[in-house]
Amino acid sequence: MVEEKVIVRLDGVDVSFGGSQVLEGVTIDIHENDYIAVLGPNGGGKSTLLKVILGLIPPDAGTVEVFGTSPEEGRRRIGYLPQYARFDREFPITVNEVVLMGRYRGPFSGYTTMDRQKVTKALDTVEMSEYGDRQIGALSGGQLQRVLLARALAREPELLLLDEPMASIDPDMQRSFYELMAELRDRMAVVMVTHDIGVMSEEVVEVACLNRKLFHHGDAEGGAEGLEAAYACPIQLIDHGHPHRVLRRH
């Protein structure tokens, strides 16, 4: 079996803000076509981890390599769905125009026919093509999340980073979102950060547990021990529709 190529490597990464340590000694390799959920409590450093990979936050110690180069250079090959999307819902911009921003290359580079074709493809992928001319402010939370995902996909990334992607999505749309993520894994690596341990029962292949320190990195079935370390207490999982798994009592 051929081992997948490492596309992101963090080695001994520390990050502190205002004297408070957010990441401590984080070491992880992300390979081509990985599908990883990074789980942990709010404030555990999950969003910071993504921003370190993107080169938006420089580490205080340790090294970060993205596609064999610096994060600032490598992020051109990354699609990113941030945790919060704040904007004026009355601003007159359409779904097509929002997704087209994913093809932005600078103030002196216009959009090409190919760029617009990539927008159409991205909207088809997230099943939002019929909303292309809709004002962005008229969408529901789940629809907006799909459009923002399409914007990330329009870049044709080799790595997709998702920061709490289920925060504004109802349960029915969450399920379809997970199914879409499983399909995208055939085209790119996917890393999703969340505080929702329910993702362990979904389609993810590997789990990393983060609460300042990275406690576990491996297959989803073995992720429970890392969760207990990250949350600092035993965790009980109830998985409807699959064999139940109950850990020891508190």
Domain of 170 in residue numbering reads as 6-231
In a domain, 237, yes or no: no
- What is the total residue count of the chain? 250
Does residue 245 form part of some domain?
A: no
What the block records as the tokens of 18 is 């205002």
Can you tell me the distance from the alpha carbon of 209 to that of 37, in angstroms, rounded to the nearest whole number? 8
Domain assignment present for 250: no
Report yes or no: 174 and 162 within 8 Å, Cβ to Cβ: no
Helices (H), 87-184: 95-100, 113-125, 141-153, 171-184
109 domain-assigned: yes
CATH classification at residue 160: 3.40.50.300
Tens of pLDDT along the chain (250 residues) come to: 456 799 999 999 999 998 899 999 999 999 998 888 898 888 889 999 999 999 999 999 999 999 999 999 999 999 999 886 667 777 889 999 999 999 988 777 788 999 999 999 999 999 999 999 999 989 888 888 889 999 999 999 999 999 988 776 777 777 778 788 878 888 899 999 987 766 555 566 788 889 999 876 566 555 555 555 555 555 444 443 444 344 444 3
Whether pTM > 0.85 for this model: the answer is no
Q: How many domains does the chain have?
A: 1
What is the SS3 assignment for 87?
Answer: coil
